[in-house]
A and B are shown apart, each in its own frame.
Chain A
Amino acid sequence: MHTDHTRADVIFDVRDVGKTYTMGDVDVVALRSVSLTIRGGELLVILGASGSGKSTLLNILGGLDVPSTGTVSFRGTDLTHATDAKLTAFRRKSVGFVFQFYNIIPSLTALENVKLVTDIADDPMDAREALQLVGLEDRMHHFPSQMSGGEQQRVAIARAIAKKPDVLLCDEPTGALDYSTGVKVLDVIEHVHRQLDATVALITHNAGIADMADRVIKMRSGEIVEEYTNATRKTPAELIW
C-alpha cells in the first residue's frame, strides 16, 4: 500500500524548534531541538512515550502554540512570529485537528458539528459527504450524547476533513477507544488519507500503529531519536497492539 511521492513539495519545515513551559518557578522543557520536514501527501506517525513532547510538537505545527526557539514555516510562510489572528486564519483554512477527546459540540448534531466548519471554510466539501466518508451517513442527525465514543471520534474526523485541509493532525485519536473501535477509526483516517490524498500527521504512544505510516518519527524527552520509512504500509486491520 505504499504511496510513492512524486509530489515532493514541503508542507512543514521545522528547524531547531525548542519549547519551554514556565510553571511557576520551574521550567519544563517539552521540546529540546527538533528539526523535520513534512511533505505533501504523506502519512506521518509520531511515536513516543507519554511526556516525550509529541503533542507539543503537533500543537506548534497546527498553530495552537508557538515555539520558544527555532522556526516553523508552513508552505514557506513563517508561523513562529505570526499574530494570533494569522494563526487563527491558518487553522481555519489549512489545518484539520482530531484529538483524543473528541471535542465535538454536545449541543449540535453530527451534521451540524461538521457544518460548523464548512460554514467558515473557503472551499469545503459538502458536510454530508464528509460524514459519508467516515461512514456516518445514517447518524447525521444524532447528538453526541446519542453516539458511541468511536462514532463521536468519526464525527471529529469528518469535521476535520470537511474543509479539505492541507494537513490533518491527529493527536492520539484512538487513545480513549477500545481496540476494535480504534481500528475502525484508524481505518477511517487511512481511507480519508487515500481518498483525498491528504497529508496526515498522527501521534501515538502505541508502536503497533506506526506500521500504517509512510514515515515514522520516534521521540524521547523532547527530541527526535529515530526516523525511518516503512517499505510497505499495513492496513489498520493488520495492525497489532
Chain B
Amino acid sequence: MRALTKKLLRESWHLRGQLLAIVAVVACGIANFIAMRSVERSLYVTRAAFYDGSRFADVFVNVRRAGEHIADRLREIDGVAIVETRVVADVMLDIEGVHEPASGVVVSIPDGGQPELNQLVLRNGRLPRSESDAEVVVSSAFADANTFSEGSTFYAVMNGRRRLLTIVGTAVSPEYVLEMKPGSFMIDNKRYGIMWMGRKGLAAALDMQGAFNSATVLLQPGASEHAVKERMDRILEPYGSLGTIGRDEQLSARFLDDEITQVRVQATIVPTVFLAVAVFLLNISLLRLVSTQRMYIAILKAFGYSNAAIGLHYIGFAIVAVFLGTILGIWGGREIGVWLTQLYAQFYRFPVLRFEMPQDVLVVAVIISITAAVIGALSAVRTALRLPPADAMRPESPKTFRPGLFERLPLLPRLSPIGNMIARNIERRPVKAALSVTMIALATAILVLGRFLFDTFDGLMSIQFDKIQRDDVALTFAKPVSHSSMFDLLSLPGVTTVEPYRMVGVDMSAHGHIKRTAIQAMWSDTAMRRIVDAHERIARLPHDGLLLSRRLADALHVQPGDLVDVKLLEEDRRTISLPVSGLVDDLLGVQAYTTFYNLAAILDEQGSLSGAYLAVDRNELAKFNTAVKNTPIIAGVAVKQAAIQSFKDNYGENMNISSTWIVAFAVIIAFGVVYNSARIALSERGNELASLRVLGFTNGEITIVLLGEQVVLTLIALPIGMILGYGMSSILPDAFATDMLRMPFVFSIRNLGLATLTIVSVALATGLLVRRRLTRLDLVAVLKSRE
C-alpha cells in the first residue's frame, strides 16, 4: 500500500468520531433517497402495469337508470374506444364478528366473465357464476381485514332484501387499489368493502334487467377527455347522471397519484437536507484537518508530491466517510424500502407490489455522494494547495481577533473574559457560525413540523369526533323517507335522541363556475352535527339562504350576499337561485349547509329525511346494531366508536413510526453538527483550554469555554428553528388542502417545548461526550509545543 494511502486510513481511524457523525448523516440521506425513490418507482411501475394490463377506464359515470341501448349512443362519441355498462349498488352488510353494520359496493361483472374494462385479478378462487345472485368475489383488502376465505358468507341488504352472499374468490381491481368509503377520510377495510357479482344475478336483485346505472369508458389514444365527458354528460343528463368523472377525480386513482407525488417530493427534499448537512460537516472537519497538518503538507510538497496527489489525499477523507455512509445508506434504504413497500401494500392493493430498487437509483446515489464528498472537501483542498511549502513549515501565526460586534453595541452588558472568548470565537467565523445555526435550526424545524403533523391529525380527530360528530350513530336511508320515519327510529333499541337530516346533490354555479356538491340540511339548533370550522368555532346555520364551505365559495367566486344557481340532482332537476348567507372554514368535503325547514321548503317537501343522527345508549348498542342490520331501508351506518377504533388500528401505529423517524432524523442532524463543531473547537482550542487548566481553571470551567460556543449557537438556532418550523407548518394545511379534507392548524406551545427539549438534550449529550476528552487533556505536553 502506498504510504499516503496508509496515512489516509490511519488518520481516518484517528478522526473516526467526526467521520462517523458524517457517515450517519450521509447514510440517512442516501437511505431516504434509495428507499423513497425505489418506493416511488415500485408504485409507479406497478400502477402503470396494473392500469394497462387490466384496462383501467378513463371515464366513469353513474346514472339512476338508463336502458342498455343508451350505451350505443355513448359508443358513437368521437374518441371513445370501449364503453362498458354495469350495475352497481351501495349495500349494507352484516358480517359475523363485526358488531357494527358494515357497508360496501356491489359491482356487476359481465355474464361471460371478466369485464372488458377494470378487469379483476383474482387472488384466489374463481369468478361468480353469471346468473347467481348469491356468489360474489370480494376485494382482497376487505377479505384480509375480515379474514374471509372461499366459502365464507355474510349478509347484504340489497334493494330492501337481506341476502346471504357466499365468497367464491378474492380479487384486486384497478378501480379499487385503495378502498375508501366516499365522504369518509379514513380507510376501514373491515367495515367497507367491494364485491363483484354476475350481471344477471345483480340486475335481478336490483330490478335493473336491461338497464344500467354505471358506465365506464376507455378513450382512444389522443382523444380529448374533456370533449368526450361533455358529450356523455349531455346524453346521460335525462337518466339521472351524477356527472362524468375522469381518473383525476376517481377516488382510488387520485389517492394513488397524490401518494406517488408525495413520495417523489420526499425523495428529493429529505436527502437534500441531509446531504447539505453532510457537505457542511465535511467542510468544517476537513478545513480543520488541513490546518493541523500544515507542516506535513509542506513536507509532502518539499518531497515533490504533486498538488493533485495532495488534493486527492484530502478528498480521500471525504470519500472514506461518504463511501461508508453510502454503503450503509444503500443497505438501510433497501431495508426501509422493502418495509415501506409492505406497508404500502396493506393500503394500496395491487396484484403484486414488489419492492424494486432500480439500478439507476443506485448510480444516482453514488454520483450524489461523490459530488457531496468533493464539494465538502473543496475548500479544504484549496487551502492545502494554496499553502506555499516554506510558509507551511512555520507554525500558524496567532489568529487575529477583533473586539466583536456584540461588544461594540452600546447598552449591552459587558461580558466576562470567558464570555468574550466565546463571543469572539463565534464572530471570528461568521459564516461557519451561521451555517451551524442554520443546520441546528433545520433540525429544530424538522421536529416542529413533524410534531405539527401529528398534532394536526389529532386536532382533526378531536374536531371531528368531539366537536362535530356528537351523535353515536349516523344512519343513511337508501332514498329519502317521510318525516314520520323519525318515530320508527326512536323506537329502535337504545335510541334516546333522533335528529333528521336531508341531503341533496346539486350542481352549484355562479359567474360561469360550476361545482358538483351537496346541500346538507339539519335542525337549526342541531346538537348532533354541529358545523365547526378549522379554528374550532361553531358556525350557526342561517335561517335563510346557504352557508357555504369557504373552499366551495372560492371555487365559485362568490361571497356572502351573492346568489348561486342551484340545480337539484334529484327528481325534477329544477334550477333555482339561492343567496349565500355565510361561509365556513369546515374541514371535510365541500358543501352547502342550510336548515332542515329551509331545504324542505326549497324541495317542496313535507320534511323528508335522507338520514338521521342518533344518540344511542351504550349499553343497548349491541341490540341496536342487530336491529339496524335487519332494517332494509337503511343503506348506511356510521358508528362513531367504530370509526375512532378503526383510526387507531389503521393509522395509530403508522403515525408513531413516522414520528419516531422524524425525531431520529432531527437527532442525527443535531448530533452531527454539535459533535463535529465541538470536536473541531477542541482541536482548535485544546492548547488554550490546557493553558486555562494550568492557570487553575477547573474542568467544569473549561467545559464552559469549550461548549459555550455550541450552547450559544444552539440557543440562537432554537428560536430560528421554531419560527422556521412554524412557518413551514403554517403553509402545509393550505398546500395540502383538498376538496375532501383540510387540516386544521393545530400549533401548541408543547410542540415548541418538545422540540426545544429534544435539541437541548441532544446538544447536551453530545457536549458531554466531547467533554470526556477534556479530562484527558495533557497539560504538560501543551506547554512544550507552540501550536
Contact = CB atoms under 8 A, between A and B. Distances in A.
Interface residues of B, number: 34
B679 to A, nearest CB: 19
A14 to B, nearest CB: 18
A143 B780 contact: no
A144 B697 contact: no
Contacts of B779: 64-65
Nearest to A64: B779
Interface stretch (A1-9, A90-98, A229-237): A90-98
Interface stretch (A31-39, A112-120, A187-195, A220-228): A112-120
A135 interface: no
Interface in B383-403: 397-403
Contacts of B417: 105, 108, 112-113, 115-116, 119
A206 B44 CA distance: 82
Interface string A154-173: 00000100000000000100
B771 interface: no
B399 A97 contact: no
A157 B783 CA distance: 15
Contacts of A115: 416-417
A100 B701 CA distance: 25
A151 B340 CA distance: 66
A113 B401 CA distance: 13
A63 to B, nearest CB: 9
A31 to B, nearest CB: 13
A164 B416 CA distance: 20
Interface in A114-138: 115-117, 119-120
A107 B421 contact: yes
B691 A105 contact: yes
A88 B428 CA distance: 30
Given A64-B694, A88-B693, A91-B695, A143 B400 contact: yes
A103 interface: yes
Q: Considering residues B417, B421, B698, which has the most beta carbons from chain A within 10 angstroms of its beta carbon?
A: B417
A95 B696 contact: yes
Interface string A76-102: 000000001100111111010101110
A50 to B, nearest CB: 11
Q: Considering residues A55, A64, A146, which has the most beta carbons from chain B within 10 angstroms of its beta carbon?
A: A64
A180 interface: no
Given A91-B695, A97-B694, A116 B783 contact: no
A107 B424 CA distance: 6
Contacts of B699: 84, 88
Nearest to B694: A97
Interface string A12-50: 000000000000000000000000000000000000000
A117 B695 contact: yes
Interface in B696-722: 696-699, 701
Nearest to B422: A107
B405 to A, nearest CB: 14
A106 B695 contact: no
A145 interface: yes
Contact of B694 (A84, A85, A89, A103): A103
Contact of B688 (A90, A99, A105): A105
Nearest to A163: B696
Contact of A107 (B425, B693, B696): B425
Interface string A191-213: 00000000000000000000000
Interface string B37-66: 000000000000000000000000000000
Given A64-B780, A91-B695, A99-B783, A107 B397 contact: no
A59 interface: yes
B420 interface: yes
Contacts of A103: 687, 691, 694, 782-783
Contact of B696 (A89, A106, A113, A145): A89
A91 B786 contact: no
B694 A106 contact: no
A106 B698 CA distance: 20
Contacts, number: 95
B781 to A, nearest CB: 11
B707 to A, nearest CB: 16
B343 interface: no
Contacts of A105: 417, 421, 688, 691-692
Contact of B401 (A55, A84, A143): A143
B417 to A, nearest CB: 4
Interface string B501-531: 0000000000000000000000000000000
Contact of B698 (A62, A85, A93, A112): A85
Given A105-B421, A107-B425, A107-B428, A145 B397 contact: yes
B538 interface: no
B416 A107 contact: no
Q: Considering residues A84, A100, A106, A115, which has the most beta carbons from chain B within 10 angstroms of its beta carbon?
A: A106
Nearest to A94: B696
A113 B425 CA distance: 15
Contacts of A113: 417
A59 B418 CA distance: 25
A171 B783 contact: yes
B684 to A, nearest CB: 10
Contacts of A64: 694, 779-780, 783
A65 B786 contact: no
Given A64-B779, A107-B428, A116-B418, A91 B694 contact: yes
A171 B780 CA distance: 12
A85 B698 CA distance: 7
Contacts of B695: 91-92, 97, 116-117, 159
B235 to A, nearest CB: 83
Interface string B665-701: 0000000000000000000000110011111111101
Contacts of A93: 696
A101 B398 contact: no
Given A88-B696, A120-B697, A106 B418 contact: no
Contacts of A92: 695-698
Contacts of B786: 101
Contacts of A145: 397-401
Contact of B398 (A106, A112, A119): A106
Contacts of A55: 780, 783-784
Contacts of A85: 698
Given A64-B694, A92-B696, A143 B402 contact: yes
A184 to B, nearest CB: 20
B696 A101 contact: no
Nearest to A176: B786
Contacts of A119: 416-417
B604 to A, nearest CB: 86
A59 B420 CA distance: 29
Contact of B420 (A65, A84, A112): A112
B696 A91 contact: yes
Contacts of B421: 105, 107-108
Contacts of A97: 694-695
A117 B699 CA distance: 15
B302 to A, nearest CB: 24
7 contacts: A64-B780, A84-B699, A88-B698, A91-B694, A106-B398, A108-B421, A119-B416
Interface of A: 55, 59, 62, 64-65, 84-85, 88-93, 95, 97, 99-101, 103-109, 112-113, 115-117, 119-120, 143-146, 159, 171
Given A88-B697, A106-B400, 15 more contacts: A55-B784, A65-B779, A92-B698, A99-B783, A103-B691, A105-B417, A105-B421, A106-B401, A107-B420, A107-B421, A108-B401, A120-B696, A120-B701, A145-B398, A171-B783
The 3 closest A-B pairs by CB, nearest first: A92-B696, A91-B696, A103-B691
